[in-house]
């Protein structure tokens, strides 16, 4: 199944390392990151899960719940967690779906037969509090993901959901942003009373607005 940006992220019930989860209910009013990795006891995945565990406070701070998935059973996830703690210094501190029957993988199109008939690719889905898909990424098995980038995108998504701005290339939280083209100069005067810099009529730079 192909899920497009703006679609409702499919709901499911799954067994996880933290018990049975009904996905939408578990998300509640939080943002969510659902990410898959090809297989338990594989080297790149081991580093990725350690990284996500280390960054968990950063996801919490942004009101984002994180959930991993692989097509191995629960007992394998449990045994592997000890290896992750030992080698990465951080044990998984978020639920991991045991998708042995590939129900969730199929629902989200995480199996790519050109890559492997049996393993999930490295998918990332960012889901908003409205349960709509805000971002999807697909990486090959051989390339570990950059989870700082996922946090950066979440910062952008959360900012642009609140204000009529977009974030430029390589933007980081706190840096200047762009006034979206649909806002006229007249309307921008109200929204951004501190003013902005016009580089081109379509490229207007403004300090990052702050939530009050
Ligand atoms: C890994 O996580 O290291 C990996 C998994 C599947 C294929 C290649 C690498």
Contact 43 CB / ligand 1 (< 6 Å): yes
117: left (phi over 0), alpha (psi -120 to 50) or beta: alpha
Q: How far apart are CA 124 and CA 68, in angstroms?
A: 9
Secondary structure element (H or E) that encloses residue 24, with its range: helix 23-27
Residue 117 has pLDDT above 90, yes or no: no
Answer whether residue 120 shows pLDDT above 90.
Answer: no
71 C-beta closer than 6 A to ligand 1: no
Mutate to test the pocket of ligand 1, among 43, 49, 76, 80 (most ligand atoms within 8 A of CB): 43
User: pTM for the complete prediction?
Assistant: 0.96
Task: Work out the pLDDT band at 149, boundaries 50, 70, 90.
Answer: very high
The dihedral over CA atoms of 9, 13, 15, 17, expressed in degrees to the nearest 10, equals 50
Q: What is the mean pLDDT of residues 143-147?
A: 97
- What percentage of the chain has pLDDT greater than the value 90? 94
29-55 pLDDT, tens digit each: 999 999 999 999 999 999 999 999 999
The protein residue with its alpha carbon nearest to ligand 1, atom 7, reads 141
47 lines ligand 1 (CB under 6 A): no
Q: Is 38 in the pocket of ligand 1 (CB under 6 A)?
A: yes
Nearest ligand 1 atom to the CA of 45 is 2
Nearest CA-CA partner of 69 in 100, 91, 42:
100
- Give the separation between CA 199 and CA 178, rounded to whole angstroms: 11
Dump pLDDT digits (tens) for 76-107: 999 999 999 999 999 999 999 999 999 999 99
- Which two three-digit tokens encode residue 151? 């946090």
141 lines ligand 1 (CB under 6 A): yes
Distance 95 CA to ligand 1 centre (A): 20
Q: Encode pLDDT of 66-77 as tens digits.
A: 999 999 999 999
pLDDT grade for 212, boundaries at 50, 70 and 90: low
Distance 50 CA to ligand 1 centre (A): 15
């Amino acid at each position: 199944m192909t899920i497009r940006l703006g679609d409702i992220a499919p709901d499911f019930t799954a067994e996880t390392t933290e018990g049975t989860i009904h996905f939408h209910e578990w998300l509640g009013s939080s943002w969510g990151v659902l990410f898959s990795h090809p297989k338990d006891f594989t080297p790149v995945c081991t580093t990725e899960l350690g990284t996500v565990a280390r960054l968990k406070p950063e996801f919490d701070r942004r009101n984002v719940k994180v959930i991993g998935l692989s097509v191995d059973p629960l007992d394998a996830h449990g045994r592997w967690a000890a290896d992750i703690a030992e080698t990465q210094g951080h044990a998984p501190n978020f639920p991991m779906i045991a998708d042995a029957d590939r129900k969730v993988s199929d629902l989200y199109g995480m199996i790519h037969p050109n890559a492997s008939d049996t393993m999930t690719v490295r998918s990332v889905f960012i889901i908003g509090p409205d349960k709509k898909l805000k971002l999807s990424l697909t990486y090959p098995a051989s390339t570990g993901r950059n989870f700082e980038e996922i946090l950066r995108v979440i910062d952008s998504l959360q900012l642009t959901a609140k204000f009529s701005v977009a974030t430029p290339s390589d933007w980081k939280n706190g840096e200047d942003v762009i006034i979206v083209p649909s806002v006229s100069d007249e309307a921008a005067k109200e929204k951004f009373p501190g003013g902005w810099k016009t580089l081109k009529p379509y490229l207007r730079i403004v300090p990052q607005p702050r939530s009050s």
